[in-house]
Amino acid sequence: MSLLKHVWRAPLSAQFGLLMILLYVLVAVFAPVLAPFGETQVVGGGFEPWGGQFLLGTDNLGRDMFSRLVYGARNTLGIAFLTTVLAFLLGGSCGLIAAIKGGWVDQGLSRVVDILMAIPQLIFALLILSVVGTTATSLVLVIALLDATRVFRLSRAVAMNVVVQDFVEAARLRGEGLCWLVTREVLPNAAAPLIAEFGLRFCFVFLFISALSFLGLGIQPPTADWGSMVRDNAVLITFGDISPLLPALAVALITVSVNFVVDWMLHKSSGLKEC
């Protein structure tokens, strides 16, 4: 009930963002129902125009553009979400443990993260992916590892501010184990910035996967994915057709929406006045 009230009072941008995210999730979940054709089904000639049988025309191989856009939501969003969750599980837990344990544990983890962060992300990803091959699993694992470093930095910094408080010392003196300290004492008090970071990180992962797909190293054909859809149909641009921009637009819209929502949540958790 109170959540609804918060949403009702949220600024217009946040409400718009929430609505869009909800829409994307619904589309992703009900993709088979919504799409008139199959994901990889060739239903007509290449590059057929909009209207008629094909709402948004067909792509270079004659697959229905609209159906592929709908399925793309499922694939791209799903993989990005999974990757972000993994990155948070890995980076978040390491960050919290580093902050709580301090000393050698902290030093060790931080230096490893420094090394990973010293290599440009895209080049590192291209390197590893070209070695291990571009399956969806390796894609998820590699990007999760790379993004976990950023999550580690943030969660460690946030947790550092919490662990110095007396209630954490009280729990330590009580003899509580690491698990209790992480999950009950520190995490709930570090949650707000981490949730906001989750939204932002999701956007970055999402853009990163799209970028890799565009370069041909991301999600592999024939799976429908917004990044590769842009590449496949890029040639249409020269004929003044905006179809290849549609998947790009879908990427842009979800990114902006998530940012709106995260902005609002950060604003709320920081306790700043609304004016």
Partner 1 sequence: MTTTKPLLEIRDLHIEGHYEDAWHPLIKGIDLTLQRGEVLGLIGESGAGKSTLGLSAMGYTRDGCRITGGSVHFDGIDLLNAKPEALRKLRGLRIAYVAQSAAASFNPAHRLIDQHVETAVKNGGMSRDQAMREAVELYRVLRLPNPETIGQRYPHQLSGGQLQRVMTAMAMACHPDLIIFDEPTTALDVTTQIEVLAAIRDAVATYGSAAIYISHDLAVVAQMADRIMVLRHGKLVEEAETRKMLGDPQEDYTKSLWAVRSFRTEPKASPQQEQPLLELRNSFASYGRQPVLHDVSLKLYRGQTLAVIGESGSGKSSTARLITGLLPPTYGEVLYDGQPLPADFRQRSKEQLRRIQMIYQIPDTALNPRQRIVDIIGRPLTFYLGLKGKAMRARVAELLEMIELDPATFMERQPRELSGGQKQRICIARALAADPQLIICDEVTSALDQLVAEGVLKLLNRIQQQLGVAYLFITHDVATVRAIADEVLVMQRGRVVDHGSRSQIFTPPHQDYTGLLFSSEPQMDPDWLDRLLATRACTPSTDTLEKV
Q: Which one, 5 or 45, has the nearer CB to partner 1?
A: 5
Q: What are phi and psi of 211, to 5 degrees?
A: -65, -45
Binding of partner 1 by 3 (CB under 8 A): no
From 40, 41, 172, 215, residue interacting with partner 1 (rule: CB under 8 A): 172
Please name the residues in contact with 83: beta carbons below 8 A apart, sequence gap of 6 or more. 139, 140, 143, 144, 147, 205, 209
Radius of gyration of the chain (CA): 22
Binding of partner 1 by 6 (CB under 8 A): no
From 170, 178, 235, 237, residue interacting with partner 1 (rule: CB under 8 A): 170
Q: How far apart are alpha carbons 183 and 168 in whole angstroms?
A: 12
From 1, 12, 166, 179, residue interacting with partner 1 (rule: CB under 8 A): 166
Q: How far apart are alpha carbons 44 and 60 in whole angstroms?
A: 10
- Give the nearest distance from C-beta 11 to partner 1 in angstroms: 15
Helices 78-101/136-163 angle, 10° precision:
40
Binding of partner 1 by 101 (CB under 8 A): no
Binding of partner 1 by 173 (CB under 8 A): yes
State which of positions 175-204 bind partner 1 (CB under 8 A). 175-176, 184-185, 188-189
Q: Which one, 123 or 173, has the nearer CB to partner 1?
A: 173
Here the tokens at position 33 are 């129902």
Residues that bind partner 1 (CB under 8 A): 165-167, 169-176, 184-185, 188-189, 273
